Structure 1
Amino acid sequence: MLQLFLLFMSFSLAVEALHAFIQDESEHKHYLIVSAVTNLLVNLIGVWFFRNYARINLVYRKAEDMNYHSVCLHVLADSIRSAGLILASWLLTLGVKNAEVLCLGLVSATVFFLVMPLFRTTGGILLQMAPPRIPSSALSKCWRQVSSREDVSEVSQARFWELVPGHVIGSISLQVKEGVDDRPILQYVHDLYHELGIQDLTVQIDYT
């Protein structure tokens, strides 16, 4: 995924900065500067096309939002890397010592800062963590409301997670009294959690 590539890019830039500091390498080739300027101009065009997804903390309402945000951050990170190379070259002409180390470190930290919100969101989806958009207090309230019904003996194994950005699913297990019509219970539970934004809910009913 692009966010993993960007994290790798951030760490590789940090290693490159450390290597430049140890080796005291401060000479830039002119063709690298020309390439950096060209790359920066092209990437700025890409950033303009994806400008609606240029925010660091973006609310993902659908899966496409995360994909476009990943592409935008990739183009933005590459632009920052090119800008850092240009800045380092300019500082070297002014006689600033360790300009390359300073700029590479700054670029590495900036790219890391840009990609971390996306990385955390992606990790939460892959690990099937509780959806951050739904407060835990709201889920607890629903739990209490379902448990308080006279025809429900026990509520257990309630799990909720985002399958894709903007699409929350869940499962819950209920124990109801023998002989009770479960259709009103199912309708009540589905309506209750649907109001929280849980689109798909699996309800398992056991009779006691």
Structure 2
Amino acid sequence: MEDYMTLQGKLTKHYLIVSAVTNLLVNLLGVWFFRSYARVNIVYRKAEDMNYHSVCLHVLADSVRSAGLILASWFLSLGVENAEVLCLGIVSVAVFMLVLPLFKATGNILLQIAPGNVPPSALTKCFRQISACEDVSEVCQGRFWELVPGHAVGSLDIRVKNGGDCQSVLDYVHGLYQDLGIQDLTIQTDE
């Protein structure tokens, strides 16, 4: 009975190594397929870039996990104690470092951080130009954020002077912010 358990353990170990190597090869094929998104620091120009990068990172992290399993098996065959824990730690750190830029980018979108492609000084300049407009009495509650990668949006509250041309103010403000790359702008006007 003891020989049967030893044989079954060796077969299971052999099966796991074959499975890990096969999984690694398939995942490397997937990484090759998404190779244009395999950079750690990628500039997301549109939402699809972020989606494809996350798929690539998923496949890459699975590849790292498979490589860690193979490495742990090799360490165990050399007699290294706690090889699984050691390799698990290495894999965890590697995967965390791979996905950290994606976490930061999605966190900035979820927290509605100011768009990175629009300098704050440009937003301040537009704010001053609108305030200097003769039909505007006050500009308040300006808020700009990135809705999806590469797509900045914003909202403004503008008080128009009595008798001022509201439509010309709207056209002027939209033109200023479109030059900055903010295509979707919601403007509330009050008199």
What's the TM-score once normalised by structure 2's chain length?
0.88
2:96 corresponds in structure 1 to 112
Higher relative contact order (CA 8 A, sep 6+): 1
> Which residue does 2:156 correspond to in 1?
172
CA distance in 2, matches of 1:144, 1:113: 41
1:133 correspondence with 2:117: yes
Q: 2:46 aligns with which of 54, 57, 62?
A: 62
CA distance in 2, matches of 1:138, 1:100: 53
* Structure of larger gyration radius: 2
Q: Distance in 2 between matches of 1:140 and 1:113?
A: 35
- Quick one: distance in 2 between partners of 1:135 and 1:100? 48
Cα deviation code 1:153-190 (max 9, x no counterpart): 11111111222222111110111211011222212211
| Residue identity in the other structure for 1:129 | I
State the one-letter code of the partner of 1:88. Answer: A
- Name the CA distance, whole Å, in 2 between partners of 1:144 and 1:97: 67
One-letter amino acid of the counterpart of residue 66, structure 1: M
AA of the residue aligned to 2:166: D
2-structure distance, mates of 1:185, 1:166: 26
Q: Determine which of 142, 146, 157 is the counterpart of 1:158.
A: 142
Instruction: Give 1:133 shift.
Output: 2.2
Cα RMSD, aligned residues only: 1.5
In 1, distance between residues paired with 2:175 and 2:60? 42
Corresponding residue number in structure 2 for 1:103: 87
Q: Runs of at least 4 residues of structure 1 off by over 3 A?
A: none
Structure 1, 137-146 or 104-113: larger mean CA deviation: 137-146
Mapping for residues 49-88 of structure 1, pairs under 5 Å? 49-88=33-72
**Secondary structure of 2:180's aligned partner:** coil
Q: Does residue 182 of structure 2 align to residue 186 of structure 1?
A: no
Give the number of aligned pairs: 180
Residue type matched to 1:144 in 2? R
Name which of structure 1's ranges 196-205 and 116-125 shifts more when overlaid on structure 2. Answer: 116-125
Q: Cα distance, 1:137 vs. partner?
A: 2.1
8 Å contact from structure 2 (residues 135, 165) kept in 1: no
Identify unmatched segments of 5+ residues in structure 1.
1-27
Aligned-pair distance for 1:117?
1.5
Residue aligned with 2:184, SS: strand
| One-letter identity of the residue aligned with 1:122 | T
In structure 1, give the amino acid aligned to 2:53. Answer: H
